[in-house]
Structure 1
Amino acid sequence: MAAGQGRRGIRAPLVAGLLLLCLLLPATANAAKTYIVGDAAGWSKNVEASWLGGKTFYAGDVFVFKYDKERHDLVMLGGKGYRRCQVPRRSSKSRVLRTGNDAVTLRRGNNYFICGQPGHCKNNMKLAVKAW
């Protein structure tokens, strides 16, 4: 050891490295994930009851909705439209997607999705998720 360095000279870089690691861990622990909604069954009725259980989602996670675009669609909307199973005529909160393979990034808070085809939402083709 160099004169005057003592044990502190060795610990300082170690402590600095550990502090940096602690600062970086929260950022990597919540890295965005991609989910196929409904897994193999895809975007279909009862997905809320059969697929959501036990999952926690975060803002920035991506939901991929796979469905038959000739029979279904995906409507992103507000809570009122979700509860009423009603696609708003004009709203800055709603968006209709029809590709059959739609990727949606969750925003913090409540995110609502329905199938806008007649009767589909009322037959439980809808999904409400909270992203932290």
Structure 2
Amino acid sequence: MAQGRGSAVAMGLALLCLLVHSEVTQAATFVVGDNGGWTFSTVGWPSGKRFRVGDVLEFRYNPWAHNVVAVSAAGYRSCSASPAARVFTTGNDRVTLARGTNHFICSLAGHCESGMKIAVTAV
């Protein structure tokens, strides 16, 4: 009888590992702006794409010319970042999507207004 319980536990652990692995492998990485990278007029880039919680956005850009700032919906609409906003500046930034709409802008003068912003909804 102990052997039966042991094999049931082993089977349960194997199933748990399989489920965890399948969740991890389902996450996708998206290069924002595709081959053009994070630049002006990327506002429409998310259109037609399906994003899930845990997917990764990779922002590729010239760090001397741009940045990436995670903002609220209000910050997205007004093209402004709060002092507490998370700012990325490496030129090759990876951001994991949270559930709901994730908003990003370039906070350099005039960039967001010129379309350097995206809103990505993850389900």
For the aligned pair, the TM-score class normalised by the smaller chain equals 0.7 to 0.9
Paired residue type of 2:113: K
Q: Which residue of 1 aligns with 2:11?
A: none
Q: What TM-score, normalized by structure 2, do the two folds share?
A: 0.78
Paired residue type of 1:98: T
Q: Which residue of 2 aligns with 1:126?
A: 117
Paired residue type of 1:96: V
Give the superposition deviation at 1:53. Answer: 2.2
Identical aligned pairs, as a percentage? 46
Gaps of 5+ in 2: 1-14
Q: Which residue of 1 aligns with 2:8?
A: none
How many residue pairs match? The answer is 105
The change in CA–CA distance for 1:29 and 1:112 in structure 2 (over 3 A counts) is: same
Q: Which residue of 1 aligns with 2:65?
A: 71
Q: Which residue of 2 aligns with 1:38?
A: 33
CA contact under 8 A between 1:56 and 1:131: conserved in structure 2? yes
Give the superposition deviation at 1:129. Answer: 0.7
Q: What TM-score, normalized by structure 1, do the two folds share?
A: 0.73
Q: Secondary structure at the match of 2:39?
A: coil
Instruction: Kindly name which structure, 1 or 2, has the bigger radius of gyration based on alpha carbons.
Output: 1
User: Deviation above 6 Å: which 4+ runs of structure 1?
Assistant: none
Gaps of 5+ in 1: 1-19
